[in-house]
């Protein structure tokens, strides 16, 4: 039987029924995109194959193709720049390999989600096109410069399409790098655009709503529940991805989100204070020092691990300690050696929720005497990004320590639990 890409077929094999759309295949197997969003590869031998519906003609397909983003723009709407960096929200299945790859440009995103054209007048720019795991600190600098240029050119808001796995790092970095007069909104999706369960459209629409609001901070806007009812607005320095695949993976830690976006009516409800549009002048400090380590302490780990970072030329170290922020006693001399060498050592907690307090137990007191700096209730990865940013601003050890102890971009809350 001659099957064409786009045909809907039903295949019965070994008493199992498969139905879906025929996709490209580089093997003898027939690849179907099923209604569940998943792919199935079935070898045709001894299979009963029925064509349920032939693919649409070229003319019909063209008729239903959405208009391009540029032809649907309205000139009386706010101007928003959408910057694509890659990730699942800008990805689709490569049916040659079965892998999800970053392939969509910013214009592709706008064309795929035509509802965006009702919210703002968009311009698109691909800053870089990488999957989340390939993000590097130098990319944050490039992204900050691009965001700054877009704001200087009159953008009323910025949307950054980003992979979810490292979004919290990039959002934290830009939170420190940019004092912004307009909203800067990170958005991603847990599931690629060509899956029926994709969260890309709702997340993007809610992100655009925030980008045109008066919330002039760096935020991340993602699903608030597994249903399509609302998105949460998280501060860039207080958000963390807490699940590998759920659509509501992102949560604010040690704080409430700024608010929520109702998907049904695109209305924003805020529950936390925030910096309002136009309050600050644009100021960009994008320099960063990438030679900083994030070291997770585990029971029995030799202090030689810390010694490696000290002797390898690292300029700063974040220790992810246990509980209130502890490492074993035999690590304390190496902490002191690092500090005496001009290397700041910041201590965060593996617990994520709660505040570091090294004044309760003897080991913590010894760590403070050795010169360790408490990260308060900062997330370990936020403390890591902040340390990189601080050391990019100054070479003076005392100034760096003062900046690390200061609350610069809502990365720490003022209430102490110690």
| Catalytically active residues, by annotation | 88, 164-165, 241
Q: Where are the alpha helices (DSSP H) in 125-166?
A: 137-152
Contact in structure between 364 and 325 (CB atoms under 8 Å): yes
Label residues 196-219 b or e (16+ Cβ within 10 Å = b).
Answer: eebbbbbbbbbbbbbbbbebbbbb
Which among 262, 274, 320, 267 has a CA at the least distance from the CA of 296? 320
Q: 41 pairs with which residues across the strands?
A: 31
User: What is the rounded CA–CA span in Å between residue 329 and residue 363?
Assistant: 6
Contact in structure between 357 and 325 (CB atoms under 8 Å): yes
When computed from its CA atoms, the radius of gyration of the chain, rounded to whole angstroms, is 25
Q: 158 pairs with which residues across the strands?
A: 81, 184
Contact in structure between 233 and 257 (CB atoms under 8 Å): yes
Torsion angles phi and psi, residue 219, rounded to 5: -130, 165
Please give the helix or strand (H or E) that residue 161 lies within, else none: strand 157-161
CA angle 332–338–342, rounded 5-degree value:
145
Question: Can you say whether residue 319 is alpha, beta or left, with left for phi > 0 and alpha for psi between -120 and 50 degrees?
Answer: beta
Question: Can you say whether residue 283 is alpha, beta or left, with left for phi > 0 and alpha for psi between -120 and 50 degrees?
Answer: beta
User: What is the rounded CA–CA span in Å between residue 92 and residue 199?
Assistant: 13
Torsion angles phi and psi, residue 223, rounded to 5: -50, 135
Q: Where are the alpha helices (DSSP H) in 50-121?
A: 58-64, 69-72, 106-112
Tokens coding 145:
């410069």
DSSP 54: P
User: What is the rounded CA–CA span in Å between residue 253 and residue 379?
Assistant: 8
Length of the chain: 418
Tokens coding 194:
């060509």
């Amino acid at each position: 039987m001659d099957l064409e890409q786009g045909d809907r077929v039903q295949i019965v094999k070994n008493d199992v029924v498969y139905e879906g759309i025929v996709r490209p295949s580089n093997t003898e197997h027939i690849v179907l995109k099923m209604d569940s969003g998943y792919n199935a590869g079935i070898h045709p031998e001894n299979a009963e194959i029925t064509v349920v519906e032939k693919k649409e003609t070229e003319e019909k397909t063209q008729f239903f193709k959405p208009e391009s983003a540029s032809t649907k723009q309205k000139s009386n709407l706010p101007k928003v720049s959408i910057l694509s960096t890659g990730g699942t929200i800008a990805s689709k299945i490569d049916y040659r390999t079965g892998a999800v790859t970053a392939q969509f440009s910013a214009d592709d995103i706008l064309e795929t989600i035509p509802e965006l054209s009702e919210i703002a007048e968009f311009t698109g720019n691909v800053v870089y096109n990488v999957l989340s795991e390939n993000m590097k600190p130098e990319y944050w600098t490039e992204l900050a410069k691009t965001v700054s240029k877009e704001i200087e050119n009159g953008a009323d808001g910025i949307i950054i399409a980003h992979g979810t796995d490292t979004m919290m790092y990039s959002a934290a970095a830009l939170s420190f790098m940019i004092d912004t007069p307009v909203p800067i909104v990170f958005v991603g999706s847990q599931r690629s655009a060509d899956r029926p369960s994709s969260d890309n459209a709702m997340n993007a629409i809610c992100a655009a709503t925030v980008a045109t609001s008066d919330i002039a901070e760096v935020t991340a806007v993602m699903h608030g529940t597994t249903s399509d009812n609302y998105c949460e607005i998280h501060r860039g320095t207080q958000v963390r991805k807490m699940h590998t695949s759920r659509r509501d993976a992102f949560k604010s830690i040690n704080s409430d989100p700024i608010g929520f976006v109702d998907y049904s009516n695109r209305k924003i409800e805020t529950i936390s204070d925030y910096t309002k549009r136009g309050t600050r002048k644009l100021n960009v400090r994008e320099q960063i020092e990438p030679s900083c380590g994030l070291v997770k302490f585990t029971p029995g780990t030799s202090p030689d691990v810390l010694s490696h970072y000290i002797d390898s030329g690292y300029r700063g170290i974040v220790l992810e300690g246990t509980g209130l922020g502890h490492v074993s006693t035999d690590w304390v001399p190496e902490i002191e050696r690092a500090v005496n060498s001009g290397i700041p050592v910041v201590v965060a907690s593996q617990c994520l929720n709660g505040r570091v307090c090294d004044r309760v137990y003897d080991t913590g007191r010894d760590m403070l005497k050795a010169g360790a700096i408490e990260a308060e209730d900062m997330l370990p990865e936020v403390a890591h990004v902040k340390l990189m940013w601080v050391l990019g601003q100054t070479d003076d050890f005392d100034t760096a320590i003062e900046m690390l102890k200061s609350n610069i971009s809502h990365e720490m809350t003022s209430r102490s639990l110690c």
